[in-house]
C-alpha cells in the first residue's frame, strides 16, 4: 500500500562524485567531465529511476586548490539545456548567484530553460560565499553576509515580477485575427529599489510552471529567513537527526509566519552513501577513498570553511578548537557552525575531521548495506527531519547506480517512493502548486 506522503529524491551531480578524492579512484570517469553525453546519460539514469530532479552546484570563481582536485564546472544552465533535449520528465535545477548576476538576464535564462524543457526548471538561489568572486566582477571587496541577503530579497522581488510580467493568456498567436499577443496583459514592472532599477517586461512569455521552482541552500539565520519567505525546496546539510529535526521545524514555523503553507516547502538534506553488501565491505570502500585524500587539498578546504590555517600541524594530533574564531566573518555561515558542532561533539583529530568532510563537504556521509541506508532515510523522513534527500554519490557513475538499483527498490517496497511520474513538471514531482501571476487582473499594461 502506497503512503500518501512520498519522498522526493534529487541527484546532485558533481562531475566525478562528491568525495574530494573521487577523481583519483579507479572507478572514476574523469576523462568524461567535459563530455555533454556523460551528463545526459547520468540524467537519463536518474529519470529511468523516477528521480525528481538533477541538480548542479556552481560558483563564479575558480577555487584556489584546483591543483589537487577537479574544481571547475561547466555553466549549469547551458548544460541543463542540453540535458533537457535528452530527457522528458526529470527536473533540472541550476545554481545561480544573486550577488554576481543581473535579474533581467537571469530571468531570461531560466524562463528559456523552463520553456525548452516544458516546465522542468528550478533555480538554486545562492548569494555566493567565495570572497574571491568580487575581483571577477570589478568589485573592490565581497559584500558582507547580511548585505548579500538584503540584495537577494530585492532580487527575488524583481525576477518574480519579470516572470509574471506576461499573464498566462497574453500570448494569443492567432493568425486569423492577426493578433500575436494581447498587450493589455503584458506589464512593465517599473521596479526602483536600493539595488536595482528594472522597467520590464520580460521579452518571453510566461513559462509552463508560471515560474521556475525556487530552491535555496543556505542555513544561516539570514538564509533560514530567506528560505521561509521564498523557497519551495531547500537543500541543507546535517550530520544528526536532531539537527535536521530542529532545522525542519524552524523552517516550517517561519513559513507559517509568512502565511505560507509548510507543505509547499520541501526540505531535502544531502546524503552521500557508501553502499556494499555488508557493513565491513562498505567501511572498506569508504577507506579506499579516504586513502586517496591529499592533505594539502583537505586543509585548504578546511581553511575556506573555517578561516583556520592548519598547515604544519600534526594531522594525528587533536584539533586546536581554541584557535577557531566564532565571532569572525565565518561565524555566521551555516557550514562553519556544522563543522564546529562536529569538533565539539566528537573531539576529532585533524585527520579524522578532514576525512569526515572529504566525503561531501559537511553533508551526511553514511556507509553500510542498502537496508541500512533505506532505514536511515525512512527514519529522517518519518520523524520530522526531511521531505526527501539530495543524493550525493561519492563517485560516479557507480555510486549513483548502487543507490538507484539497491536502495530505491527498498524505498518503493515500503511505499515511500514513486513507481512512476504522476506529472511532467518539476512542480508536479514536488507536489507544488502553480503560482498565479502577480499581474492577474491588473489594469497596467505596457505602452
**Cα–Cα distance list, 415 to 4, 180, 371, 412, 431 (Å):** 9, 47, 15, 5, 17
Could you tell me which of 359, 237, 349 has the C-alpha nearest to residue 287?
359
The answer to whether 241 touches 202, Cβ cutoff 8 Å, is no
The answer to whether 50 touches 418, Cβ cutoff 8 Å, is yes
183 labeled binding residue: no
Q: How far apart are CA 401 and CA 375, in angstroms?
A: 19
Burial zone of 300 (CB within 10 Å; 0-12 exposed, 13-18 middle, 19+ buried) = buried
The answer to whether 185 touches 166, Cβ cutoff 8 Å, is yes
Could you tell me which of 204, 408, 239 has the C-alpha nearest to residue 339?
239
430 labeled binding residue: no
Could you tell me which of 129, 126, 104, 107 has the C-alpha nearest to residue 57?
126
117 labeled binding residue: no
The answer to whether 393 touches 18, Cβ cutoff 8 Å, is yes
220 labeled binding residue: yes
Q: What share of the chain is helix, strand, coil (3-state, %, to 5)?
A: 45, 15, 45
95 labeled binding residue: yes
H helix runs in 97-220, sequence order: 103-116, 145-164
Q: How far apart are the first and last CA of the chain?
A: 56
Q: Which residue has the cell 594525528?
A: 316
Residue positions counted in the chain: 447
The answer to whether 216 touches 334, Cβ cutoff 8 Å, is no
Q: How far apart are CA 125 and CA 102, in angstroms?
A: 13
C-alpha cell at 406: 539497491
Is 274 strand, coil or helix?
strand
Q: Where are the beta strands (DSSP E) in 112-262?
A: 121-126, 171-174, 179-181, 191-192, 197-198, 213-216, 233-236
Q: Which residues participate in the annotated binding site for FMN? A: 58, 95, 145, 149, 219-220
Binding residues: 58, 95, 145, 149, 219-220
Amino acid at each position: 500500500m502506497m503512503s500518501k506522503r512520498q519522498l522526493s529524491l534529487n541527484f546532485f551531480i558533481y562531475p566525478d562524485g562528491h568525495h574530494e578524492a573521487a577523481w583519483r579512484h579507479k572507478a572514476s570517469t574523469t576523462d568524461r567531465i567535459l563530455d555533454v553525453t556523460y551528463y545526459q546519460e547520468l540524467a537519463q539514469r536518474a529519470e529511468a529511476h523516477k528521480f525528481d530532479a538533477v541538480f548542479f552546484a556552481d560558483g563564479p570563481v575558480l577555487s584556489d586548490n584546483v591543483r589537487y582536485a577537479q574544481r571547475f564546472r561547466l555553466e549549469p544552465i547551458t548544460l541543463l539545456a542540453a540535458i533537457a533535449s535528452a530527457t522528458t520528465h526529470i527536473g533540472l535545477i541550476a545554481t545561480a548567484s544573486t550577488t554576481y548576476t543581473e535579474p533581467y538576464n537571469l530571468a531570461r535564462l531560466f524562463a528559456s530553460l523552463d520553456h525548452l524543457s516544458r516546465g522542468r526548471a528550478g533555480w538554486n538561489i545562492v548569494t555566493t560565499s567565495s570572497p574571491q568572486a568580487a575581483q571577477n566582477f570589478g568589485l573592490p571587496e565581497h559584500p558582507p553576509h547580511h548585505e548579500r541577503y538584503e540584495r537577494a530579497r530585492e532580487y527575488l522581488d524583481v525576477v518574480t515580477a519579470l516572470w509574471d510580467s506576461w499573464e498566462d493568456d497574453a500570448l494569443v498567436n492567432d493568425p486569423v485575427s492577426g493578433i500575436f499577443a494581447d498587450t493589455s496583459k503584458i506589464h512593465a514592472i517599473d521596479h526602483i529599489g536600493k539595488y536595482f532599477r528594472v522597467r520590464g517586461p520580460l521579452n518571453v512569455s510566461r513559462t509552463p510552471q508560471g515560474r521556475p521552482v525556487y530552491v535555496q541552500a543556505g542555513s544561516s539565520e539570514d538564509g533560514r529567513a530567506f528560505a521561509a519567505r521564498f523557497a519551495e525546496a531547500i537543500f541543507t546539510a546535517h550530520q544528526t537527526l536532531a539537527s535536521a529535526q530542529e532545522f525542519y521545524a524552524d523552517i516550517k514555523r517561519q513559513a507559517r509566519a509568512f502565511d505560507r503553507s509548510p507543505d509547499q516547502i520541501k526540505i531535502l538534506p544531502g546524503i552521500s552513501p557508501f553502499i556494499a553488501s555488508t557493513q565491513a565491505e562498505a567501511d572498506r570502500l569508504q577507506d579506499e577513498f579516504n586513502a586517496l585524500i591529499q592533505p594539502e587539498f583537505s586543509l585548504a578546504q578546511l581553511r575556506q570553511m573555517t578561516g583556520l590555517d592548519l598547515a604544519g600541524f600534526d594531522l594525528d594530533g587533536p584539533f586546536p578548537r581554541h584557535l577557531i574564531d566564532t565571532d569572525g566573518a565565518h561565524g555566521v555561515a551555516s557550514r562553519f557552525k556544522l563543522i564546529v558542532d562536529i569538533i565539539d561533539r566528537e573531539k576529532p583529530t585533524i585527520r579524522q575531521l578532514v576525512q569526515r568532510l572529504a566525503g561531501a563537504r559537511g553533508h551526511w556521509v553514511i556507509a553500510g548495506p542498502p537496508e541500512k541506508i533505506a532505514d536511515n532515510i525512512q527514519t529522517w523522513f518519518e520523524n520530522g527531519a526531511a521531505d526527501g534527500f539530495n543524493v550525493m554519490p561519492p563517485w560516479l557513475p557507480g555510486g549513483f547506480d548502487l543507490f538507484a538499483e539497491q536502495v530505491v527498490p527498498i524505498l518503493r517496497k515500503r511505499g515511500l517512493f514513486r513507481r512512476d511520474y504522476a506529472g511532467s513538471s518539476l512542480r508536479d514531482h514536488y507536489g507544488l502548486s502553480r503560482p498565479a501571476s502577480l499581474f492577474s487582473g491588473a489594469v497596467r499594461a505596457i505602452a
